Amino acid sequence: MLRLGVNIDHVATIRNARGTPWPDPLRAALIAQAAGADGITAHLREDRRHISDADIDALMANLTQPLNFEMAATMEMQAIALRHRPHAVCIVPEKREERTTEGGLDVAGNDNALAGYIAPLREAGCRVSLFIGHEPAQIRAAARIGAAVVELHTGAYCDLDTEGRHAERDAELAALREGAALAHDLGLEVHAGHGLTFDTVGPIAAIPQVAELNIGHFLISESVFLGLEGAIREMRARMDAARA
């Protein structure tokens, strides 16, 4: 079955806008679990703009589903991951000025440094995932340095769909399909995510090599209208229909 990881970062964004204790990301994670999420994703950014260290503490103490801990490749974040030892660690590129993650990690250009960086995480029992684009060089580098998983960045595909640039969208989708096939052939588990909506999830969910989708901002946005449980169940249904 295609797994759904629910990213709860933007529950914390809403909380932090007013400096109150609510809405509580842990409560959102527990609702997501009950609604059928197969895992919870949380990105602890260097500037702590949404998820906090206390949130990670609470998630690790209370979740029954796996935590996918997204983080930049810094020594601070490595130390936090090694202290908590979550099920999965996803290394993402991070810029202080960006609103959201703008692209994939440059593994091919930093393979020696990243190989050394992820080695202690692997030894601690974390499944290491790299958030990358679909370029073959990046996928091959991820396999070469010992990552267990690659998460393919679907943001460009989703943006092109929203902008009505359908020929370019279809080309991007084809490239994602080719990237997923290559990653699978190299022994990597394939995940995908970023920007997925009810309208764009189907073609990504239908890629046979993709084992997991990680979706956050859209689900939190839709929960205003459908409730978080309702939004997750609708996404789950669309994923399952596409995979069937």
Look up residue 28 and give its amino acid: A
Written as six digits, the tokens of 9 are 């970062």
Residue 82 C-beta-side C-alpha neighbours within 13 Å: 15
Write down the pTM of the prediction: 0.95
Q: How far apart are the C-alpha atoms of 20 and 29, rounded to whole Å? A: 18
What b/e readout covers 152-183, taking b as 16+ CB neighbours within 10 angstroms?
A: bbbbbbbbbbeeeeeeebeebbebbbebbebb
What's the pLDDT tens digit per position in 214-244? 999 999 999 999 999 999 999 999 999 999 8
Q: Which helix (H) or strand (E) holds 189?
A: strand 189-193
E-strand stretches of 26-141: 39-43, 67-71, 88-91, 127-132
Annotated binding site for 3-amino-2-oxopropyl phosphate: which residue ranges?
7, 18, 195, 216-217
pLDDT tens-digit readout, 117-128: 999 999 999 999
- In angstroms, rounded to a whole number, what is the distance separating the alpha carbons of residues 60 and 39? 12
Which residues are paired to 41 by β-bridges? 7, 68
- In this prediction, residues 89-96 reach a mean pLDDT of 86
For residues 150 and 95, the model is more confident at 150
All domains of the chain in start order, with CATH: 1-241 (3.20.20.70)
Q: Which residues are catalytic?
A: 43, 70, 194
